[in-house]
Amino acid sequence: MQENLTVVQNVIIESRKKLNISGVKDVISFDDETVLLDTELGKMTVKGEGLHIESYNTQTGDLTATGKIHAIVYMSDAKTTGGFLSRIFR
C-alpha cells in the first residue's frame, strides 16, 4: 500500500477531554465509548468514556469530540473489511 505523503491530518487532544481531528471523510459509527471514522489517512477508532461529537463539518472534514479520551488507533484495511454487522458478529 502506497501512502499519499501530501495528505495532512491533524489530531489534537486537549487535556484528554477534547479532540479535534482534520481530514475526516465520514463518521462510520459512534456511541459514548467508541467513535469509528473514515479519514484521509485510513480508518480511525477513538475509545473513551462519555464521548460526544460536538461538531462535524462535512465540507472541511473537521470534527470535534468531547469526553474522556483513552485511545486513538489507525486501523489497517485488513481489519475493516466487511460490513458493520460482519464486524459485530465475528
Residues 6+ positions from 34 with CB-CB distance below 8 Å = 45, 46, 47, 51
Check pLDDT > 90 for residue 90. Answer: no
2-33 confidence digits (pLDDT tens): 555 688 899 999 999 999 999 999 999 999 99
Q: Look up residue 18 and give its three cell numbers.
A: 477534547
Q: Which domains does the chain have, with CATH numbers?
A: 11-76 (2.60.40.2000)
* Main-chain dihedrals φ then ψ at residue 84, nearest 5 degrees: -60, -45
| Nearest-angstrom CA–CA distance, 63 and 58 | 9
32-81 confidence digits (pLDDT tens): 999 999 999 999 999 999 999 999 999 999 999 999 999 999 987 654 45
